[in-house]
Structure 1
């Protein structure tokens, strides 16, 4: 768990540094920083999609996953439930920032493979790399959305901790194509967050989160029936 602990610590540290910068910023600087963050998140989403899409063995699966996942998320009203929960902690646009932070920090190959590699082989390289990336990202996010971004560290700890503890039991059953499909969908979700930050279109990204489970179900059923 060393890599995860370092990852969490750097997110908290980055959030503190970013929030300090925020206090001394004029609105104009915060606006341009928000635009820069939106462009950066959009670019990360496009990069993830372009990187993993060519490797996909099921080019239509991400479309079906987004459709089914969106319906499930809308039925569960995940976006509004999440905003209601966050509003009890802080006012303003923190909910948007936290949803973006959770996506960026948790939905990615390094954050998925890292804990598994750490548990099975004691290799912390992926998690340390992920920690450095998250440190920089948390500074920028906290400068835009405030110290509340540090709350995403709790989600990250639970996510990576779950993967770490479960790795011994399930790692041998996780095919590479599943990671690819999850990364493609994750890229789409990150892209939607970027567009929302830029104000081009307000996507209910949290309601699309269940889309990440569809490839798991599909490939599990496919393997079970031997198709």
Structure 2
């Protein structure tokens, strides 16, 4: 089922939100260590994905050109500005009344769970390969994050599960539909290189989670489009490597 990964992701957000609402504030020491553990696990997933490539030069070109495009467009900055705008529209802060807390919890959770490369890469992976590992890993991260957020911002965090389902589900279903119109050999070639390129982005997320780097991962996302362009051009000009090369 194409939407399995997204459904697991949504379920874990709901569970984390409910548990966090009743646990109260989580000690910083526990939060930090668990975040590091999740970061290490995410890096392992990214490393495994990066070995999918059969043409490493395509991955290098895609990630470098994609990063340049992302920085030029300032995707990370634009997403942050969107976040600040949404927060400004959220109204009152927690503690003033229930509606204010719900609004801020919903906005904060949505920004964290929806905006990120794992949502895009995982949803595409679910749609094209029926592989849900990335979204399940994201769900674990989101579930723990929801637990922390709901312990401080309230139960409004649980409502962020709705945009997560709509956003990731739409990408997954679109990927599934597109795959029906692409030749199998070209699709397989694209999947391999997209998976490897996405793996590097996942590694970057893991490094950020454990605090070693502050990579603007959102600015790497155009690399996925570069992969599609490069593999499409190679296929169109008959230069696509034969299987096993």
How many angstroms apart in 1 are the aligned matches of 2:183 and 2:47?
Answer: 28
For residues 158-177 of structure 1, the aligned pairs below 5 Å read: 158-170=170-182, 172=184, 174-177=186-189
Instruction: Output one character per residue of 1:16-44: Cα deviation in whole Å (capped at 9) or x when no partner.
Output: 11123334222222222211221111121
**1:36 aligned partner:** 37
Structure 1 residues 181 and 220: CA distance shift in structure 2, 3 A: same
Q: Is the 8 A contact 1:34 1:144 kept in 2?
A: no
Structure 1: segments with no counterpart, 5+ residues: 115-125
Cα distance in structure 1, aligned partners of 2:171 and 2:62: 21
Alpha-carbon distance, 1:225 to partner: 2.4
8 Å CA contact 1:74–1:207 kept in 2: the answer is yes
Would you say the 8 A contact 1:42–1:194 is kept in 2? yes
Cα distance in 2 between the residues matched to 1:28 and 1:39: 17
Whether the 8 Å CA contact 2:5–2:135 is kept in 1: the answer is: yes
Q: How do 1:68-147 and structure 2 match up within 5 A?
A: 68-87=65-84, 88-89=86-87, 95=111, 98-99=115-116, 101-103=118-120, 105-106=122-123, 108=125, 110-114=126-130, 135-143=139-147, 147=157
What TM-score, normalized by structure 1, do the two folds share? 0.76
Instruction: Provide the rounded CA distance (Å) in 1 between the counterparts of 2:191 and 2:238.
Output: 20
Moved more, 201-210 or 168-177: 168-177
Decide whether the 8 Å contact of 2:66 with 2:226 is kept in 1: yes
The equivalent of 2:90 in structure 1 is none
2:144, 2:33 → 1: CA distance?
Answer: 12
SS at match of 1:200: coil
Larger radius of gyration: 2
Q: Which has the higher helix share?
A: 1
Seen in structure 2, the aligned counterparts of structure 1 residues 63 and 168 have a Cα distance that, compared at 3 Å, is closer
Matched, 1:182 2:172: no
Q: Note the residue ranges of structure 2 that are not aligned, 5 or more in a row.
A: 88-103, 151-156, 240-245
The count of aligned residue pairs is 208
Q: Which residue of the other structure, out of 12, 18, 37, is the alignment partner of 2:16?
A: 18
SS of residue paired to 2:46: helix
RMSD: 3.0
Give yes or no for the alignment of 1:48 onto 2:49.
yes
